[in-house]
Amino acid sequence: MEDYAKELCAFAPQELRKVLFVSGGSESVETAIKLARQYHYDAGNKDKYLVIGRKPAYHGSTILPLSLASRKSHRQPYLPLLLKFPVIPAPFCYHCPFKKSYPQCNLACARELEKTIKKIGPEKISAFIAEPVIGASAGAVVPPKEYFPIVRQICNKYNVLMILDEVMTGFGRTGKWFAFQHWNFVPDIVVVSKGIAAGIVPFAAVFCQKKIVETIKKGSGNFVHGFTFENNPLTAGTAGMVLKYVKKHNLVGRSREMGKYLFSRLLTLSDIPIVGDIRGLGLMTAVEFVENKKTKKPFSRKAQVAEKIVQAALKRGLNLYFAIGFIEGADSDIGDAVMVAPPFITTKQEINKIIDIFKESILEVQNKLQGSDPF
C-alpha cells in the first residue's frame, strides 16, 4: 500500500502528495469536506464550516455529498436530513444562467463565487467544491479555460479551500492524469475513484496539500475520521496493478488521442435536428438533445428522450449513459443528454461503430417523436 501511494503520488503535482485511500466516490467526497472543516478548525478558524457548491452538480449519495447535489429527484426524499449549503451557477455556456455569451460574459459564473463568499461572510466559508468537467448531472460540460484560474484566485483571497471532485474525470478519462491539469492551477484537495482501480474493486483516493496535514498535526493531532476499509492493502494492491498497466500501455495518452477522434466523429451528428450540443474532453463526451435547435428548448421530461436513445442503443449492443434533469423546470428538472465514454483501450474502428449505432438510435427516437403517436 505504501509503495503504491509513492508511485501514485508521483503523478500528482508536488503540492498534492499526501493521500488517503477509501472505498468509493461518496466516501472520498465526505472525507474531503470533513478534512477541509478540520483544517480550518485546527487553524483556529472555528466558524468556517460552509461549503459552496454549484448547480448542476452531483457528488455522491451519502448525506454530506447529497446536500450539495442539485437535482430535485435526488434530494426530495431526503430533504429533512440534508444540510443547507450555498450554491452558485456552474459554468454551462450552452445554457448560460446569466443569459450571456462567452467571452463577453467576463466569466460571470466564476465571479459569482466571490459575490457569494462576501455575502455570507468569508469567516464562515470552509471550501468550494466542483467537478472540473461536469459528469452525470449535466453530461460532460467543459468550463471556459479562464474559469478555474479565476476561482483559484478567489479561494486564495478568502482562505477558502478548493476541493475538486474528480471521481469521474480523474486517472486519465479526460486525457490527463487529473482533469485540472488542463488548466494552470492546483487545488487544495482532489478526490479520485472509478477509473483509479478500473472498476475492479471499491476504491478511491483523497489527495491533499501538505499544509492541511501539517495544520491538523499541530492542532488536534489526528484527523477525526475513518472507515472500516480505509487504507486497505488488498484494494490498494489491485489499484497498483491497474496503475502499472495504465503506465505500460500509455492509456492516458491514448485517452487523449482517441478522445480527439471520438469528438471529431461525434461532430458528424450535428445536422440531426434534435442534436443541440456536442461537448466533452478526452474520452468523456456527451450529446445534448433539444426540441428546438434555435432556442435550445429542451424536451419535456415525460418524453424521456435520453433514456429512449440509451435503450435503442443497448438493443444494438452499445452501452451508453444518460444525463438528465440539468435545467431547472417549473415542476421538475428537465434536459436530455447522453454520455459517450468508451474504455481507454478503444480503437478507431470501435469508435466508428459506436457512432454508427448512436446515430441509428438517435434517428429511431427522433422518428418516433415526429410520428403521430410518439412512444
* The three grid cell numbers given for residue 369, joined into one nine-digit string: 417523436
The domain locations on the chain are 2-248, 251-370
Beta pairing, strands 284-289 & 275-281: antiparallel
Q: What is the residue type of 177?
A: W
Query: pLDDT by residue (tens digit) across 247-291?
Result: 999 999 999 999 999 999 999 999 999 999 999 999 999 999 999
Question: Across the beta sheet with 284-289, what order do the strands follow?
Answer: 275-281, 284-289, 334-340, 321-327
CA 354, CA 373: separation in Å to the nearest integer?
Answer: 28
Classify domain 2-248 at the CATH class level: alpha beta
- The grid coordinates listed for 138 are 449535466
3-state secondary structure 181-220: HHCCCCCCEEEECHHHHCCCCCCEEEEECHHHHHHHHHCC
pLDDT beyond 60 at 352: yes
Q: pLDDT tens across 6-39, in order? A: 999 999 999 999 999 999 999 999 999 999 999 9
Query: What is the distance between the alpha carbons of residues 255 and 272, in angstroms, rounded to a whole number?
Result: 27
CB-based contact 157:91 (threshold 8 Å): no
Class of domain 251-370: alpha beta
User: What pLDDT score does 331 carry?
Assistant: 64
Predicted pLDDT of residue 372: 43
Q: Which three cell numbers stand for residue 15?
A: 503540492
Q: Residue 72 — pLDDT band, cuts 50, 70, 90?
A: confident
Q: Is pLDDT above 50 for 375?
A: no
Q: What is the mean pLDDT of the chain?
A: 96
CA–CA dist 314, 106 (Å, integer) = 42
What pLDDT, on a 0 to 100 scale, did the predictor assign at position 330?
Answer: 60
52 burial (CB, 10 Å; 0-12 / 13-18 / 19+) is: buried
CA pair distance 318, 325, nearest whole angstrom: 23
Which DSSP string do the residues of 158-184 spell out, in sequence order? TT-EEEEEETTTTTTTTSSSSGGGGSS
Helix 233-248 / helix 2-9 crossing angle, nearest 10 deg: 40
Query: Per-residue pLDDT for 332 more than 90?
Result: no
pTM, two decimals, is: 0.96
Give the separation between CA 69 and CA 279, rounded to whole angstroms. 22
